[in-house]
Structure 1
Amino acid sequence: MRTERSLAELFVVDPERAEALAWGRRGALKGASLAALGAALGAAMPFGSRMPGGLLPAALAQPAGDAPVLRMDGKAPLLLLGERPLVAETPETLLDDDVTPADKMFVRNNGGIPERFAADPGTWRFKLDGEVNTPLDLSLGDLEARFEAVTLRLQMECGGNGRSAFVPETRGNQWNNGAISNCEWTGVRLRDMIRAASPKDTARFTGHFGADPHLSGATDRAAISRGMPVAKAMEEHTILATRMNGQPIPQLHGYPLRLIVPGWPGSLSQKWLTRVTLLAEPHRGQGMGGTSYRLPVRPIVPGSQNDGATFADMTSMPVRSVLTNLAHGARLPAGTRRIELRGHAWAGDEEARAVHVSVDFGATWQEVALQPPPNRYSWQRWSGAAELPSDGYFEVWHRATDAQGRMQPHVAANWNPQGYGANAIGRAAILVG
């Protein structure tokens, strides 16, 4: 005799089937379905009737703490997404600092980690060549002596941040929202070096090269080698960094020299930098072309195959927010009726204009305070509070809007095979009582 599971049990072991049974054809969550959801979540759902049709609760859709933890000297307990190459995500609650400490910076490698440069870091060599009249071949010491130093707080975000929100699942590391940092970088402007090299009129693009080895061990292949339009290279916040948060850059993050291209995909911020070349045509290095760091110009069918021939390179990262003082899956004491909320928002080349939060599944939203950035390309602190009517299961939703009026969507949009640019609203499940 076949024993049928209760709907509450089914939400735990087979959420897709449970969701279909709960919502049925009309997409309205009522009566027994609402009770079953509450049982599965372990609490009543005061705003359950306001949940949009077909939406799975965040507590079931995004299990808290389900990734292994990176254990490494000098690093906080990050979420380990891959070991070869090494990839680790920063939990949102570790992103509460205005300036991201080195130990809390996310890790994204494309190849191996080179041996630490053992000589005087001032002797590290860097070249700027290609479509220039005066190629440069300088030591790091020459670089620092010859060009003005600047210190800026700059966001760096992986192009795949938020990838886990895509349905169906795409290729690549399944980031949540923690592939972001906002460190204080010190270095020299790339544009000052380009001007010193006297670029030709044909200089339209850059190509970047680093010392990280290819995972295969092949010496004739780069682990990652991307490039950008010269206009972005000439932007005053694009720098060759020698220090991070006032200290030498940690080996894991590019010691002794790293390119920082804020607001655009972090893959452009070449670690262990050895060379930048100026080109008349777009760079054809590893990580360029096809579907690599490229987005559909026109929407494609989710889950379909595509060679990326009609895609365009990613440029400015989309608007996004993180909640940093309250973890997904948090349990709060019975009787809690007011919750303080804070986090950060950013928007690639733009500033964030507003942040809103909701605790009733998006039925109503309230605007919270948003601070201006200390300099362009730094993230912005937001803070506020929300009132809860009772004990039970709630979700804190948060969304940011950029200066152009573009808002985080409710679901990840513009599906693409490698899962870039997903910036769905943030959802954190909490249980009160």
Structure 2
Amino acid sequence: MNPTQRKVAVSPAQVQSALSNDSNIGTSPIVSSSHERRVLSRRRFLLGLGTFGALTGAQTLLAPLLPSGMISSALAQTNSPATIIGKSAGLVVLNDRPINAETPAHMLDDNITKAENMFVRNNGIPPASIDVANWVLTIEGESAKESKQYTLAELKQKFTHHSYQITLECGGNGRAEFSPGAKGNQWTTGAVACPKWTGVRLADVLKDVGIKDDAVYIGYYGKDTHISGDPTKDAISRGVPISKALEDENLIAWAMNDADIPIMNGHPLRLVIGGWPASTSGKWLERIVIRDRVHDGAKMAAPAYRVPCEPVAPGIEVAAEDMCIIHAMPIKSLITYPKSGEIHEKENQFVVRGHAWAGDKVVSDVHISADFGQTWQSASLEKPVNRNAWQHWHSQIQFPNKGYFEVWAKATDSDGVSQPMILPGWNPKGYLNNACHRLAVQVV
């Protein structure tokens, strides 16, 4: 008898653990509810299909169909509890200085992301104190016709309020999959969210100040401080071209899901710019500059938030002048139900659902596969509630056999561009990974 076909007595809990894939690789600093910082070792073991079969006694009928270089998505790991103020304990903390945490895929199943489930991506230290009553936003710059200041109350009184559901995704979401590895937070799939935002249009405020004809870019500055504590350094100061800034859906927002924005997501005021890396949506917003040139703030220069202008071989050094600023995010999808590691009875239909988004474009199709990409079936796809909101999809699968399976999701945008089934082109900072999301299922 082949060793991988031997029957081994295991509990359902062992199978569930072997299939789960919501954690992250490496050592992760944890922020506890008592504000103590401690480091807990996290482990993630990748199980080969043969090893998994030996553990469960299950047939892995489709193992030969995995594309070269890919491994089974069956994973085993330990999870460490973490609590960040205003956030669910289930978020996975990747760093505590600055605080960064991602959301397991199954916690993003809501059509509108709950505030407590939105990921945290900080480049600096949030302001130590926030005085909402005296918070002032300044708009100025070489290409501003004048300089103006607005209190939060004045913004609310002077301009029309708008609410949009806007998808924000970190440019490095999926970085953990790059090989050779890229430095930075090792995001898996959870640095994305699509809550409802309320505020005033960025365009309305910029037009109230006045935009000169030579305007090229806008840039932002927040009240977070540099990780070094040096008051002369900005933690981050990025921006977008003026044409992008003037789109209707971009907001200067004070509310998320009809409540104050969580402290870790920028309370009391932030930019919300959909379709582009979330780093363009500055938090703790206190100043916007209208520039006559490409903004040159912190983390605008290469290699930050830039990719090679032309494809490069994995691991190669890329000169700064050969790096281009990331604009729109690529087509992507996420399976949010069920949680990876489902044990499913063969006789029943397997219900699966999730979200898809496409930067500045619209998602036109979502397909799912249960045979490692051999065949695909169309999923039901909803229209976005507004531009730059993610779109919900759902489908059902009837598995042909018992054994280990993976469900893959692949979205296609309005230009006909689809997600790759494996990691897209390598880049030094590990940006823009939009490979198909995979869900592990044990059919019994």
Instruction: Please confirm whether the aligned pair reaches a TM-score higher than 0.5, indicating the same fold.
Output: yes
The answer as to whether partners of 2:174 and 2:187 remain within 8 angstroms in 1 is: yes
The answer as to whether partners of 2:329 and 2:359 remain within 8 angstroms in 1 is: yes
- For residue 40 of structure 1, report the CA deviation from its aligned partner: 5.5
Deviations 1:109-139 (A, max 9, x none): 111121241x3x2431001101111211111
2:253 is matched with which residue?
241
The answer as to whether partners of 2:307 and 2:429 remain within 8 angstroms in 1 is: no
**CA 67–224 in structure 1, closer or farther in 2 if over 3 Å, else same:** farther
What residue ranges of structure 1 are gaps of 5+ in the alignment?
1-5, 9-32
The answer as to whether partners of 1:116 and 1:251 remain within 8 angstroms in 2 is: no
Within 5 Å, give how 1:63-82 maps onto structure 2.
63-66=75-78, 68-76=80-88, 77-82=90-95
2:23 is matched with which residue?
none
The answer as to whether partners of 1:123 and 1:141 remain within 8 angstroms in 2 is: no
Aligned AA (2:155): L
Q: 2:412 aligns with which of 398, 401, 420?
A: 401
* 2:361 equivalent to 1:350: yes
1:12 is matched with which residue?
none
Tell me, what secondary structure is at the counterpart of 1:262?
Answer: coil
**CA 133–300 in structure 1, closer or farther in 2 if over 3 Å, else same:** same
Aligned AA (1:46): L
Supply the distance in 2 between the matched residues of 1:87 and 1:35 (Cα, whole angstroms). Answer: 35
- For residue 79 of structure 1, report the CA deviation from its aligned partner: 1.1
RMSD value, Cα: 1.9
1:339 is matched with which residue?
350
Q: 2:392 aligns with which of 366, 370, 381?
A: 381
Supply the distance in 2 between the matched residues of 1:235 and 1:207 (Cα, whole angstroms). Answer: 15
* 2:54 equivalent to 1:39: yes
**CA 7–387 in structure 1, closer or farther in 2 if over 3 Å, else same:** closer
1:145 is matched with which residue?
157
What residue ranges of structure 2 are gaps of 5+ in the alignment?
6-47
Within 5 Å, give how 1:225-236 maps onto structure 2.
225-236=237-248
Q: 1:272 aligns with which of 263, 270, 284?
A: 284
Q: 1:222 aligns with which of 192, 211, 234?
A: 234
* 2:71 equivalent to 1:56: yes
* 2:104 equivalent to 1:91: yes
Q: 2:136 aligns with which of 112, 125, 129?
A: 125
Aligned AA (2:246): M
Q: 1:166 aligns with which of 161, 173, 178?
A: 178
2:29 is matched with which residue?
none
* 2:270 equivalent to 1:258: yes
- For residue 312 of structure 1, report the CA deviation from its aligned partner: 1.1
Aligned AA (1:109): N
* 2:124 equivalent to 1:111: yes
Within 5 Å, give how 1:169-318 maps onto structure 2.
169-318=181-330
- For residue 337 of structure 1, report the CA deviation from its aligned partner: 4.2
My pick for the range that moved more, 299-308 or 277-286, is: 299-308
Tell me, what secondary structure is at the counterpart of 2:425?
Answer: coil
- For residue 37 of structure 1, report the CA deviation from its aligned partner: 5.9
- For residue 401 of structure 1, report the CA deviation from its aligned partner: 0.6
Supply the distance in 2 between the matched residues of 1:252 and 1:400 (Cα, whole angstroms). Answer: 31
Supply the distance in 2 between the matched residues of 1:320 and 1:107 (Cα, whole angstroms). Answer: 20
- For residue 347 of structure 1, report the CA deviation from its aligned partner: 0.5
Supply the distance in 1 between the matched residues of 2:443 and 2:272 (Cα, whole angstroms). Answer: 42
**CA 80–414 in structure 1, closer or farther in 2 if over 3 Å, else same:** same
Tell me, what secondary structure is at the counterpart of 2:393?
Answer: strand
Supply the distance in 1 between the matched residues of 2:123 and 2:318 (Cα, whole angstroms). Answer: 22
Tell me, what secondary structure is at the counterpart of 1:324?
Answer: strand
Deviations 1:371-426 (A, max 9, x none): 00111111111001011112210001111111111111012222111101110011
Aligned AA (2:362): E
Supply the distance in 1 between the matched residues of 2:294 and 2:374 (Cα, whole angstroms). Answer: 46
Tell me, what secondary structure is at the counterpart of 2:110?
Answer: coil
The answer as to whether partners of 1:64 and 1:328 remain within 8 angstroms in 2 is: no
- Percent identity over the alignment is 39
Tell me, what secondary structure is at the counterpart of 2:239?
Answer: coil
Aligned AA (1:218): D
- For residue 336 of structure 1, report the CA deviation from its aligned partner: 4.6
Q: For this pair of structures, how many residues does the alignment match?
A: 399
2:401 is matched with which residue?
390
The answer as to whether partners of 2:49 and 2:72 remain within 8 angstroms in 1 is: no
The answer as to whether partners of 1:155 and 1:263 remain within 8 angstroms in 2 is: yes
2:169 is matched with which residue?
157
Tell me, what secondary structure is at the counterpart of 1:309?
Answer: helix
Deviations 1:19-72 (A, max 9, x none): xxxxxxxxxxxxxx975663256521132343334432111xxx3555544223
Aligned AA (1:245): N
Moved over 3 A (4+): 33-37, 64-69, 334-337
The answer as to whether partners of 1:116 and 1:255 remain within 8 angstroms in 2 is: no
1:29 is matched with which residue?
none
**CA 54–288 in structure 1, closer or farther in 2 if over 3 Å, else same:** closer
1:320 is matched with which residue?
332
My pick for the range that moved more, 44-53 or 354-363, is: 44-53
**CA 377–65 in structure 1, closer or farther in 2 if over 3 Å, else same:** farther
The answer as to whether partners of 2:356 and 2:391 remain within 8 angstroms in 1 is: yes
Tell me, what secondary structure is at the counterpart of 2:383?
Answer: coil
TM-score (normalizing by structure 2): 0.86
